[in-house]
Chain A
Amino acid sequence: MEKEILLTTPASYQDRGGMLTLFPKRLQWSVQGENSPTIDTAISEIKNFFVGKQNLAEAKFRIKCTDNNNQEITHTFTLNSQSAWKDLETIKAQVKNKGQGRSAAPSPAPQRSAATSPVHYKSAAPSPASGGSSPAVWNNNKNGATTNGRNGTLPLRKVPTAKEISLRKNLLMRDKKLADQHRMLVVEQKCIAEEEFWELRKNLLRDQDTRTSQQKGRSSTMPNLRPVTEEGGEAKINITPQLINEIFEEYPRVKIAYDKNVPNRISEEAFWKRYVHSRFNDRNRGTTSVANDDIFDKCWAETEDDLNQEREHGRKRLKISNLRDLSATSEDHMEIDFAPDITMRAGQGKILSLLRRNNRHGERILETSCEKSRRYMEAVAQQQKKEIYTEDIVMDDLIEEESPSTYKLDITDQREYFASQASEIDNDIVMVDADQSSIKHQSSIEVLSKFRDSFRSWNPNLTKSLFPRKVEIPIPNLVTKECNEMIEDKQNRMRESKPKIENLPQKIEKEINVIQLMGNEFLRHFWASVDSNVKEKMEKNKRMIEQLRSILLKIDHISELQPDDDNKQGPTLPNGASNISINTIQKGQRLDKEQRSVAINGKRLKVSSRASSGSSEQVSGNILDSSDSPSIDSEWKDALIQAQQARYFI
């Protein structure tokens, strides 16, 4: 960790006094007396570094860097110490140095990759172990850890832990959409607290945690030195320490040859040059190299021998498990004569050895991934001079299956079950009948027999007109009118159901997005806290209701559409939280209805504009026959509909 402080000097920032601290990789500034830094930036993030003029009284410098949201910020610091200019030089040197790599820093930063290996060719690619692939993420991690570590003796901030913070940061960096939401809701609008935001997204954090804590296994590619053709047509080969390790592991003979030869007989560079040119390196590619090389020819032959001899010598680490040894059951097959396979003999043919090599490589990779399980077990078993067979000889198919413990869907009594409603219907009938008072005292049997009797002698006369004659408006006209209205509604709804968000003016679109986002978030919190008896949640619920109300107001504001007054009369606050929720729901439903009524009016959107002091104008289609508010054009109309829709969703 970078606990090493290079420099601490009093410095002011935005006319506030504080301490500037320079770490090998970070620059921090904190207000006087506070522990957590107000400004904390990785030196690698600093893009520009401006130093004030030397002849001025104050030693000023300005840095331009990117913050967590990838936005550029400029900070200007003024150094106040005696040795201000000297300090400034130190900072400047440190900032400049970051360009040439970490090694140039006054105090050596941890170097894990290149320096550890004796070989240092043109190792342009960072080795995977150094974790340099995503510097931003790592820096943030360290940031969280550092602040925490530094505060070791001081009281820690309650929640969240450094780990949580880094998880959140990583998650936000990975998920752009979430980051947008977070920025909008927490940073810009400040409508909910950071903790509340994450409270609802615990599952995401958990996923992220598992994702990051998973370790990457070993790469399955065979170590091979391949030339990379560069721009100038030159072929280059990058040899990284990682690769060298892999080669040594894969071909122990190369390791032996290396140990024998390298510092004494030939240089390291020469060794690898010869390796690249030798047949050995090309062995897996089927091509033959030209040059003969005594070291690697020997290696080659020995490696082949190793592979081929393996069987005869017995692998040193284990005897072949009886479960896999084909000869183990030979006693059971006395009558059949097994001859050893001559085609698969070791040392014959190129393809065979290639196959064998690949198999061996595959085995090694598998072993590294499940090192602890199988190999460990086998090793233990071998130590005890016996193998564990039970696990392998039990056949799943032969085990009697336990019937899964399921519940039978046993509906006890459907009638009783719905009894409450059935009785309501019965009551309903009685009540209606009582209202009609004509069949009040008739029992159902009377009604039924009357019904039957009236049908007995009935024969439909289809020649008689079906419509009653003596009516003011003829029935067919009424029906046609009714049907026309229904069809018109339907058509209007179809036409207006999908206003396109692209048509909105940009400003309004943005506003609507924000409101929609906020509304959704509040609703999430609302439903997460509704119906709870925990005190905090109840309070939160109340808060959310207020917030939702304000959202509704905002929607009204956006659309400039003010429906009836009762919309604004919020329900009087009752005591219980559940009551409130019911009220809000009712309110929501009422709003829905209002919204519908507007939508049903279809083409006629009633708009009361503020300029005309409450007088309403009729907007028909896209034409507006009012001179009061000339800005309402077709785009505006779409915006209104969009706003309506937004409310509908909320």
Chain B
Amino acid sequence: MSVLKDTATVNEDDANLLVLIIDTNPLIWTRSAKSTGLSLKEALRHLLVFINAHLALKHDNEVAVIASHVDVSKFLFPIPTPPRLSEDTDQVVDSNLYQRFKVVNDQVIGNMKDLFEDITTLNSYPDKASSMIAGALSMALCYINRIMRADEIGHIKPRILIISISPDSPYQYISIMNCIFSAQKLGIPIDVCKVHGEDTVFLKQAAHITGGRYLKLQIPQGFLQFLMITFLPDRFTRNYQCLPGEEKVDFSASCFCHKKMIDIGYVCSVCLSIFCHPLEQCSTCRTNLILASVNECGLKLVNGIKKLDKAKGRESGGST
């Protein structure tokens, strides 16, 4: 059995599986609502319409929605046992709504409400400004893998769309990169829509490497329209369309010790960590480094980042 089916070639009548990862960090959405007027509720209305549009494009199109929350990522749709669906459907009967849309909408909203109920664990989580993008990406990839295995004729073409709002979380860097490379290997494009805040370098690279598109939302009120124009076309159509989205990617490396963008870096030969100054011992893997070539250049090795910072502080203190 071939586990990896041909995910690269796409036909016109292929079904599309859209895995939507929504960044639901409440703090940053609150900030976004203050500054741009686009709150999560508002954004969700846009997103639901978008999801429905995707499902309406083709009868066998599929969708999955994953919430990337502050310290957890969760499937919003589909989930094995829909909990509150029965009571909801009893209450609201909308005869004008196509049943499938309604199931998706209700589940997404319902599960998201559940997600927001738990505020204590979230509050105790130290890194509140981040969201579990790496976890959500892994879940998306696993889900796609499962669907692809079940689909014997290779009819379903997956793609991932990340609605990102929180800044990069550096300590997820390695796991995100792993996800990106898995996606690249499986031929799954990762699209990224950055709703608010600065560009995320990680996701920009993700889009670039996997052949997806990166879009920074300029007009928040036109969220839906951007989604429709940029991210709705399926993988077959994309081959023939010139769609909006940035193509410039910042590949410059930043050092692990201070996160500064650097032009000359010193790379640990064991774990490939990058530093802005040669260290006697790699702070990541604790390898003792012997740097003959560095000595030749007349540079001094510094033992540990803290000492390095101290030394630098002294230098600047002395010169001023």
Contact = CB atoms under 8 A, between A and B. Distances in A.
Interface of A: 407-412, 414-415, 417-418, 420-422, 424-426, 428-429, 432-433, 436, 438-439, 444-445, 447-452, 454-456, 458-462, 464, 466-468, 471, 475-476, 478-480, 482-483, 486-487, 490-491, 493-494, 527, 530-534, 537, 581, 585
A444 B109 contact: no
Nearest to B271: A409
Contact of B170 (A421, A426, A439): A421
B301 interface: no
B199 to A, nearest CB: 14
Given A480-B225, A482-B218, 18 more contacts: A407-B270, A410-B286, A415-B126, A420-B259, A421-B170, A421-B259, A425-B167, A426-B128, A445-B123, A454-B41, A455-B113, A460-B109, A461-B45, A476-B225, A478-B219, A479-B219, A479-B225, A534-B297
A467 B52 CA distance: 18
B105 A462 contact: yes
Interface string B278-320: 0000011111000000000111000000000000000000000
Contacts of B123: 444-445, 448
B256 A417 contact: yes
Contacts of A462: 45, 48-49, 52, 105
Given A444-B27, A448-B26, A466-B49, A487 B170 contact: no
A142 B317 CA distance: 60
A436 B37 CA distance: 13
Contacts of B46: 466
A64 B224 CA distance: 80
17 contacts: A407-B286, A409-B271, A409-B284, A412-B283, A412-B284, A412-B286, A425-B130, A429-B27, A436-B35, A451-B29, A460-B41, A462-B49, A462-B52, A468-B221, A475-B221, A475-B225, A479-B226
Contacts of B173: 418
Contact of B45 (A451, A466, A530): A466
B147 interface: no
Contacts, number: 167
A409 B283 CA distance: 11
Interface in B237-270: 242-245, 247, 256-259, 263-264, 270
Most buried by B among A452, A467, A479, A581: A479
Given A429-B129, A475-B221, A531-B264, A460 B105 contact: yes
A475 B242 CA distance: 22
A476 B113 CA distance: 30
Contact of B245 (A417, A424, A447, A486): A486
B229 interface: yes
Nearest to B46: A466
A426 B173 CA distance: 18
B225 A490 contact: no
A487 B271 contact: no
A415 B287 contact: no
Contacts of B177: none
A502 B173 CA distance: 44
B103 interface: no
Given A462-B49, A466-B45, A487 B285 contact: no
A487 B243 contact: yes
Nearest to A535: B298
Contact of B247 (A461, A490, A533): A490
A532 B296 CA distance: 9
Contact of A534 (B116, B259, B284, B298): B298
Contact of A459 (B109, B127, B221, B271): B109
B213 to A, nearest CB: 11
Closest 5 pairs between A and B when the two form their complex, measured CB to CB = A479-B222, A533-B298, A486-B244, A418-B170, A448-B119
Interface in B108-159: 109, 112-113, 116-117, 119, 122-123, 126-130
Given A417-B171, A531-B264, A407 B287 contact: yes
Given A459-B109, A460-B109, A407 B242 contact: no
B30 interface: yes
Given A407-B287, A444-B128, A490-B242, A460 B48 contact: yes
Nearest to A527: B264
A482 B245 CA distance: 11
B34 interface: yes
Contacts of A458: 41, 109, 113
B266 to A, nearest CB: 10
B31 interface: yes
B31 A433 contact: yes
B119 A409 contact: no
Contact of A426 (B116, B129, B259): B129
A420 to B, nearest CB: 6
A451 B116 contact: yes
A404 to B, nearest CB: 13
Nearest to B245: A486
A475 B222 contact: yes
Interface residues of B, number: 67
A417 B284 contact: yes
Interface string B30-58: 11001100001100111011001000000
B119 A483 contact: no
Nearest to A418: B170
The interface residues of chain A, by DSSP majority, are classed as helix
B129 A414 contact: no
A454 B113 CA distance: 10
A449 B229 CA distance: 35
A84 to B, nearest CB: 58
A433 B33 CA distance: 12
Nearest to A534: B298
A533 B300 CA distance: 10
Contacts of B221: 467-468, 471, 475
A581 B116 CA distance: 50
Given A422-B127, A483-B229, A483-B244, A530 B34 contact: no
B67 to A, nearest CB: 12
Given A426-B129, A455-B113, A478-B219, A460 B31 contact: no
A432 B129 CA distance: 12
B281 to A, nearest CB: 11
Contacts of B247: 490, 493
Contacts of A531: 264, 297, 299
A584 to B, nearest CB: 10
A415 B225 contact: no
Contacts of A425: 129-130, 167
B116 A491 contact: no
Interface string B199-234: 000000000000000000011011111100110000
B226 A417 contact: no
A410 B122 contact: no
Nearest to A588: B263
B27 A420 contact: no
Given A462-B105, A466-B45, A483 B226 contact: yes
A533 B112 CA distance: 58
Contacts of A407: 270, 285-287
B259 A532 contact: no
A452 B219 contact: no
Contacts of B244: 482-483, 486-487, 490
Contacts of B263: 581, 585
A450 B171 CA distance: 29
A546 B182 CA distance: 46
A530 B226 CA distance: 46
A255 B125 CA distance: 94
Contacts of B257: 420
Nearest to A476: B225
